Amino acid sequence: MKKLSMSIASIAVGLLALSGCGQGGSPDAPAEGGGETKTAPEYTVNESADVADSKTWQAAKDAGELKVGVKFDQPGLGNVKAGSKTPEGFDIEIAKMVGAELGFKPDQLKFTETVSANREPFLQQGNVDMVVATYTINDERKKVVDFAGPYYVAGQDLLVATDSDIAGPEDLAGKKVCSVDGSTPAQNIEEKYKDAQLVTYDTYSKCVTDLQSGSVDAVTTDDAILRGYAAQFEGEFKVVGKPFTEEPYGVGLPKDDKALRDAVNDALQKGMDDGKWKEAFEYSLGSADGVKMPEIDRY
Amino acid sequence: MTAPTEVLFDAPGPKARRNNVILSIVSALVLAGIVAFAVWKFADAGQLEAAKWYPFTFAQIQLVLLQGMLATLKVAVVAALLALVVGVVFALLRLSSRRIISLPGTIVLEFFRGVPVLLLIFAMFLIFGNTIGPFWSVVIGLTLYNGMVLAEIIRAGILAVPKGQKEAAMAIGLRSGQVMSLVLMPQALRAMMPTIIAQIVVLLKDSALGFIVTYQDLLYQVNLIGREYNNLLPTFLVGAVLFIIINMIVAGIARWLEKHLQRKTTAHVDAEGLSAKTVT
Amino acid sequence: MDFPELLRLFGSGIWGTLKLFTVALIGSFVLGTILAGMRVSPTPVLRIAASTYINVVRNTPLTLVMFFCAFGLPFLDIRFGASSSFNSFVYATIALTAYTACFVAETLKSGIATIPVGQAEAARAVGLTFGQTLNEVILPQAFRTVIPPLGSVIIAMLKNTSIASAFNNRELISAMRNAIELRGDLVIAILFGTALAYLLLALILGRVFDYLERKLVILR
């Protein structure tokens, strides 16, 4: 017993030492681009919002919180930093913008992490009230959930080293291109660009590590996600800028809640008209030059 | 258990001892060479730059790693306790003399034992994740798999208790439930404790898979830090060291229990032989 | 994506799993036997090296072992061929081999411990060296006594090939991920299909080991 308690004591001491020797504050991410601190856009909360026809909205209003499913691992779109509890990114800003228009203050939004495979089940079973998580609108998904938006039309693109001569997907022959296992971008490469060597991992950060070490020549996925990495590795990587698919990102909503869908569409339209959308984009993803705001599809 | 390995060769004579010393030095040099080569290569690739390791000097990052470690331990402890319960239940089911009880037990056991734990966790998350959340997805996935492995270990332990124990217990008028709970099970658990703990180390290692279902465990935080500071390799190295430390402590506890508990059982179990029963 | 296409996807997934499994099986038997031999060898440095290796690798989660193979070895300029998929396959099998060999070695060592002392004494009495004693007398018997636990280790390795999906290997789990991405409406069916595929493979393996056990095991 003595030995055991000794070892427990020594672990405790070790842990204390570990937490005791750290510097205060947080380390600056060395590769974070820009430099100047940008001010977060602020959204005016529409106190008089009333979507009483929507059960989802009414329930959220009564509870005083709107549950939003977002990604936690996509820099620039929905990302949580080490030690932080709150995600940040363009998806998050869109959620705040829509939330404000629906009458919810930013601190009334409750963000839940979703991964690609569980967005539909989360919406169907009411775990979240809406999903803003690089969620491509397509017909298969429309069978089980509703979509507002699109709020952005992404396209599959390539992230390459700044001095790379890859100028589009047609240059991929014989090159190594990395994406996430089982994802739509990976499947696209496998089907349409058979001459490229596809490399797949479970996370994009592994792809980016490989791109940095030169083990792969390009990383491919939606341009919005790549922009996030390009911003993080300014001067090292660039986005080719020739999207070769169309991925309209929508706000996923529970099926058959038309009142809510209309309200979210109105909120998105208002944000695009009054410049908040552009502010959110530039805050999260960098310059919005040449970026087109999408046409909202009220199907 | 040491006896057979010691008879495999003679006690080293002066020549063998000298050879041993030479071999030790040579292998130490080779090892040092390999380490030096690796360090040089990693340094060359910029993986040893201060910038890659700098984040770890901050209390905030250490705290995040510590939280991840605690989350991993939490999931492992809860899953280990539940797996023990499941293990005892399924061991009893399988030992039942009635086929109608033992057969379904066997089928369920074989099913969960034959499927990768990664798939179990993922399936729990996709099917029930919305109601139970990531924590319970990991716990249930780990419990189902390891519970079944523990059931087999416990069953072997019960079968290893000498027949006389059961007969004596029955002779003094205990009912079969009492025989099991008062006589056989305690001895089986004690005899099997090292093996059980070895399996719990396996469970602890598998709990590293929690990150695939968004559970914020050690590897989740490792991925997160690596993504943010672009130091995937150093962060994984730190994560691995933390894992190895935790596992070695648990393995040490297993060895300690082995020494202190086995005297209190009549079950003749060759602990070395049984440790092979744990399944990664 | 209709049913035949899904089947084809899973067929290629099973093939990928089997490839990983077979190569790692051979590798881990070879390395495991060497490690077991080192652990009982007369040379202290070999004993220490083997037990350190086993203790470190066995206590590291396989995902981490694989990560270091896939992301550490390239930095050491250890590459295998120009094709990235072959390269990743080799990294994954190295990781699986390195990891599983520990368990094979531990199992074998406990098998060696069950061989009656007289066997080794007799072998040495007739003048066999340590290597001969081990190779000709002890290991053949040890292998036979540990067939059942070795079977568990090998079946566990079959399931552990699933981890390789995260490191550029196309096998059953990546087939499953592909299928879920394409047919989000069939999630549960796809999960069950994948589980059944693994069960089938594990069942066949279990049969093989049962057969070997009946044929070879020495009861004492």
Q: Please tell me the distance from the alpha carbon of residue C193 to that of residue B66, in angstroms, as a whole number.
A: 38
Q: How far is B178 from chain C (nearest CA, A)?
A: 32
Contact residues, chain C, for A117 at CB < 8 Å: 177, 180-181, 184, 187
Q: Please tell me the distance from the alpha carbon of residue B48 to that of residue B64, in angstroms, as a whole number.
A: 22
Beta carbons within 10 angstroms of residue B258's beta carbon? 17
Q: Please tell me the distance from the alpha carbon of residue C142 to that of residue B81, in angstroms, as a whole number.
A: 34
Q: Is the dihedral of CA A179, A182, A187, A193 positive or negative?
A: positive
Nearest CA to A102 out of A50, A150, A56, A62 is that of: A50
Q: Average of pLDDT values for C148-165?
A: 90
Per-residue pLDDT at B265 exceeds 50: yes
Answer whether C184 sits within 8 Å of A120, measured CB to CB: yes
Element (H, E) at A160: strand A156-161
- Angle between helical axes of B232-261 and B185-206 (0-180°, round to 10): 170
**Interface-testing mutation among B47, B53, B60, with chain A (most A C-beta atoms within 10 A):** B60
Answer whether A181 sits within 8 Å of C71, measured CB to CB: no
Strand partners, B136: none
* 8 A C-beta contact, residue A34 and residue A234: yes
Per-residue pLDDT at A88 exceeds 70: yes
At residue B85, φ and ψ (nearest 5 deg) are: -60, -50
Q: What letter does residue A182 receive in the DSSP assignment?
A: T
Q: Please tell me the distance from the alpha carbon of residue C12 to that of residue C147, in angstroms, as a whole number.
A: 30
* Strand-pair category, A156-161 with A237-239: antiparallel
Q: Please tell me the distance from the alpha carbon of residue A202 to that of residue A190, in angstroms, as a whole number.
A: 17
Instruction: Tell me how far CA of residue B21 lies from CA of B16, B18, C50, in angstroms.
Output: 9, 5, 17
Q: How far is C9 from chain B (nearest CA, A)?
A: 17
- B11 class by beta-carbon count within 10 Å (0-12 exposed, 13-18 middle, 19+ buried): exposed
* 8 A C-beta contact, residue B274 and residue B192: yes
Q: What is the pLDDT of residues A192-224, one digit of tens each?
A: 898 899 999 988 888 998 898 888 999 999 988
What's the N-to-C CA distance of chain B in angstroms? 24
From C166, C180, C185, residue closest to A202, measured CB to CB: C166
Answer whether A117 sits within 8 Å of C178, measured CB to CB: no
Task: Write the class of the CATH domain B59-268.
Answer: mainly alpha
Report the Cα B88 to chain-centroid distance in Å. 18
* 8 A C-beta contact, residue C94 and residue C26: no
Nearest CA to A4 out of C35, B254, B32, C194 is that of: B254
Contact residues, chain C, for B232 at CB < 8 Å: 71
Q: How far is B91 from chain A (nearest CA, A)?
A: 30
Answer whether C41 sits within 8 Å of B9, measured CB to CB: yes
Number of Cβ pairs < 8 A linking chain A and chain B: 101
Answer whether C177 sits within 8 Å of A201, measured CB to CB: no
Q: What is the pLDDT of residues B168-202, one digit of tens each?
A: 999 999 988 889 888 888 888 888 887 888 888 88
Residue A197, SS3 per DSSP: strand
- Angle between helical axes of B232-261 and B59-95 (0-180°, round to 10): 40
Any C CB within 8 A of A141 CB: yes
Q: Average of pLDDT values for C137-142?
A: 89
Beta carbons within 10 angstroms of residue B241's beta carbon? 12
Q: What is the mean pLDDT of chain B?
A: 83
**Interface-testing mutation among B1, B7, B26, with chain C (most C C-beta atoms within 10 A):** B7
ipTM of the complex: 0.84
Answer whether B272 sits within 8 Å of C160, measured CB to CB: no
* 8 A C-beta contact, residue C155 and residue C206: yes
Give residues with Cβ within 8 angstroms of C122, minimum separation 6: C137
Nearest CA in chain A to B50: A30
- C24 class by beta-carbon count within 10 Å (0-12 exposed, 13-18 middle, 19+ buried): buried
- C98 class by beta-carbon count within 10 Å (0-12 exposed, 13-18 middle, 19+ buried): buried
Q: Which residue has the higher pLDDT, B60 or A163?
A: A163
Element (H, E) at A157: strand A156-161
At residue A179, φ and ψ (nearest 5 deg) are: -150, -175
Question: Can you tell me which residue has the tokens 């996935």?
Answer: B141
Report the Cα C8 to chain-centroid distance in Å. 26
Nearest CA to C156 out of B107, B219, B149, B106 is that of: B149
> DSSP letters along A212-264, please?
HHTS-SEEEEEHHHHHHHHHHTTTTEEE-----S-EEEEEEE-TT-HHHHHHH
Q: What is the pLDDT of residues A262-294, one digit of tens each?
A: 999 999 998 898 888 988 888 888 777 777 788
Q: Average of pLDDT values for B132-138?
A: 90
User: What does the pLDDT read at residue C71?
Assistant: 86
* 8 A C-beta contact, residue A90 and residue A71: no
Contact residues, chain B, for C134 at CB < 8 Å: 8
* 8 A C-beta contact, residue C59 and residue B201: yes
Instruction: Tell me how far CA of residue B268 lies from CA of B158, C108, C206, in angstroms.
Output: 11, 20, 27
Any C CB within 8 A of B107 CB: no
Strand partners, B244: none
Answer whether C49 sits within 8 Å of B27, measured CB to CB: yes
Ranked by mean pLDDT, which of A240-244, B96-100, B127-131, C17-21 comes out on top? C17-21
Give residues with Cβ within 8 angstroms of B141, minimum separation 6: B117, B120, B121, B122, B123, B124, B125
- Angle between helical axes of B232-261 and C44-58 (0-180°, round to 10): 110
> DSSP letters along B166-206, please?
HHHHHHTT--HHHIIIIIIHHHHHHHHHHHHHHHHHHHHHH
**Range with lowest mean pLDDT among A172-186, B256-270, C12-26, C150-164:** B256-270
Instruction: Tell me how far CA of residue B230 lies from CA of A205, A209, A213, B142, in angstroms.
Output: 8, 7, 12, 31
Sheet holding A247-253, edge to edge: A109-113, A66-70, A130-131, A247-253, A146-154
Residue A282, SS3 per DSSP: helix
Lookup: tokens for B165? 């124990």
Beta carbons within 10 angstroms of residue C103's beta carbon? 27
Q: Please tell me the distance from the alpha carbon of residue A117 to that of residue A121, in angstroms, as a whole number.
A: 8
Strand partners, A88: A79
* Strand-pair category, A66-70 with A109-113: parallel
Q: What letter does residue C80 receive in the DSSP assignment?
A: -
Q: How far is A48 from chain B (nearest CA, A)?
A: 32
Beta carbons within 10 angstroms of residue A88's beta carbon? 20
Lookup: tokens for C146? 């540990």
Q: What percent of chain A has pLDDT over 70?
A: 87
Neighbours, chain A (3 or more CB pairs < 8 A) = B, C
pTM of the predicted protein model: 0.84
User: What does the pLDDT read at residue C11?
Assistant: 92
Per-residue pLDDT at B4 exceeds 60: no
Q: Please tell me the distance from the alpha carbon of residue C136 to that of residue C115, in angstroms, as a whole number.
A: 13
Residue A151, SS3 per DSSP: strand
Q: Please tell me the distance from the alpha carbon of residue A102 to that of residue A271, in angstroms, as a whole number.
A: 12
Q: What is the pLDDT of residues B140-166, one digit of tens each?
A: 999 999 999 999 889 888 888 888 888
Per-residue pLDDT at A32 exceeds 50: no
Structure confidence at residue B50 as a pLDDT band (50, 70, 90) = confident
Beta carbons within 10 angstroms of residue B154's beta carbon? 26
* 8 A C-beta contact, residue B271 and residue C144: no
Structure confidence at residue B258 as a pLDDT band (50, 70, 90) = confident
Per-residue pLDDT at A111 exceeds 50: yes
Contact residues, chain A, for B224 at CB < 8 Å: 73, 80-82
Q: What is the pLDDT of residues C29-48, one digit of tens each?
A: 999 999 999 998 888 888 89
Lookup: tokens for C90? 């080799």
Q: Average of pLDDT values for B236-259?
A: 83
Lookup: tokens for A236? 């090292």
User: What does the pLDDT read at residue A27?
Assistant: 65
Nearest CA in chain B to A72: B214
Question: Can you tell me which residue has the tokens 């699933």?
Answer: C162
At residue C79, φ and ψ (nearest 5 deg) are: -130, 155
Neighbours, chain C (3 or more CB pairs < 8 A) = A, B
Rounded to 5, what percent of chain C is helix, strand, coil?
Answer: 85, 0, 15
Per-residue pLDDT at C78 exceeds 90: no
Answer whether B276 sits within 8 Å of C156, measured CB to CB: no
Q: Please tell me the distance from the alpha carbon of residue B203 to that of residue C94, in angstroms, as a whole number.
A: 23
Per-residue pLDDT at B276 exceeds 50: no
Any C CB within 8 A of B114 CB: yes
Per-residue pLDDT at B234 exceeds 50: yes
b/e A24-55 (16+ beta carbons within 10 angstroms → b): eebbebebeeeeeeeeebebebeeebebeebe
Q: Please tell me the distance from the alpha carbon of residue A287 to that of residue A290, in angstroms, as a whole number.
A: 9
Give residues with Cβ within 8 angstroms of B248, minimum separation 6: C55, C59
